[in-house]
Structure 1
Amino acid sequence: MTKTALVTGASRGIGRAVAQRLARDGALVAVHYATEADAADEVVKGIEADGGQAFALRSQFGAPGYVDDLFDALESGLKARTGTAELHILVNNAGIKSVQEPEDVTAEQLDELFEVNSKAPFLIIQRALGLLPDGARIINISSGITRFGNPQEIGYAMSKGAVEQLSLHFAKHLGPRGITINSVVPGVTDNGTEPVFRNPEIRAHLSEMAALKRVGETTDIADIVGFLAGADARWITGALINASGGALLD
C-alpha cells in the first residue's frame, strides 16, 4: 500500500526538502504552496524524475475558506491517484516570519502570524482527523527562536511556541489510536532563500553557534522528519526534537 503525505509550505526551503525525502521513502506527496506555483511544480517534477509520486495543491492560509480549499484539493488529488482520501503523514511546515522591534508590532501583524503559524496547523490537524488512519504520523515544524531571546522576533516566537503546544496536547488525545505527533525545532538553517547565508563571514559566525560548527541544511531537518514519519519512531510522541546541531548549549 502506498503511503500518502501532505507537506504544507513545500515549494521551497525545509518543506521542499521534506517533500523530497518522503517521496524517496515511497510516499505519494501532496506539495502545498500558497503563491509560488512554478516552484511547487518544479518540486513535483523533480520528485517524479526521481521515480516518486507527487502533486501540487494551492491554499493561501488566512484567506477566506483556506482550509476547505486545501482539503478539497487534497482529497480529490488523493482519490484520483489511490482511490481513497486516506492520509498517513501530515507535516505542518508552512509559516511566515516577522522581524521588527516589539514596540512596532501591530495587532494586525500578530493576527497574521498566529493565523498562518498557529491557527492553520490546528485547523489542518482537526480537519485531517477523519482522514488519518490509526498509526498515522503528524510532524509540526517549530523554530529554535522559542529557545532563546530575540526581541525582534517576539511575535514569530509566540506563534511557534503555540505550535509546540499542539504536539503536546494532541499527543495525549491521539495516543489511543496509535497516532504520533511531534515537533521538530530547527536552529539556524540555510533554506536557500536568504542572502545572509551567502556571506562567508556571517555564515562562519552562525556556524560557531552550533556544537557541530556548521549551519544547518534543509536536508538535515528533512531526514529527522523522515525518521519521525516512519515505523521506527512509533514510540515517540508529544516530543520536541532539537534539530539545531547543538546550538546555544549551556
Structure 2
Amino acid sequence: MRSLPAGATGILGRYLDALSFLSRLVTRPGQSEERFRACLSAFAPAGLTLGLVWAGAALAALTVARAARVPAPLAELLAGWIWLLALLWTTRGLHWDGVADLADACGSGATGDRFWQILRDSRLGAFGGMALCAGLAGALLLAAAHAAKGQWLPLVLAPAWGRCCSLMLAAAAPAQGGGNLGRLVCGAMTPRRARGQQGLLGGMLLLSWLAGLPAGRVLLLAAGQYFLHICLRRTALAHGGLSGDFLGTSIETAQLWFLLAAL
C-alpha cells in the first residue's frame, strides 16, 4: 500500500481518489464528499487497474504452476484461487459485505424498518453466508475457467464493468433516507455522468466483440446485465431506496455475470 499526497488534481487526482476508495493499492489523505463525488467518473479506470493486478497475479500463478508440472485442472484452479485472493486483499473484501447484508435482508422477507435493521446488522446470517459461499466459489471457478482458456481480457474488464454498472444503478433509483454512501453516489449521478457510464459499458461490449466474443454472447451479456439492473432497482424501490449495500451487490453480481457471459 502506497500513500500518495493529496496534491494531484484533475484527471489524475480523480483516478487516485477512486483507486484509494476502491482498494488498498494507494491511500489519499484529506478525502471529502466533494472529492468522492468527483472521483466517481474514474471508477472504471480504477476497476481496470484492479483487473490488471488480479489477472497479472493469476497469470503468474498459472505460469509457475505449469512450469512446476502441476496437472490440469489443478493449475488453473490455483490461478483462479490466486485471482480471488488478489481481489480480496486489494479491496479488503469491499462490496462482498454488501452482498451478504442484502442477502440476509432479502432472505428474511422483512419489510419497512425491519428490512433496514437486518441490512445494517454487521452480524452474518444464514442467507448472507450462503450468498458469500456461492459468490466466492463462482468467482474462483470462473476465473479458473478463463485462465484455462487463456482469456485474460475478461478478467481485466470485469472489475471495470461491475463498477460502471453500480453507478448506472445509482442513476436509476433514489437513495434511502438514512444511507450516507447511497446518498452521496445517487446525488452525484447526473444525467451526463450516467451517459458517460453507458458509453463506457458500450465500449467494453465492443472491445469484447472485437476480441472474439460472438455477437450473440455480447447481446446476452447486455441483456442479462439489464435484467440484474432491473431486479436490484425494483428491490431498492420496494424498500425505499438504495444504500451502499445495494451498490456493492451490483458491483459483484455484474462482475460475476460478465465473467460467466464472456466464457
Question: What is the TM-score normalised by the length of structure 2?
Answer: 0.31
Question: What is the TM-score normalised by the length of structure 1?
Answer: 0.32
Higher relative contact order (CA 8 A, sep 6+): 2
More strand by share: 1
More helix by share: 2
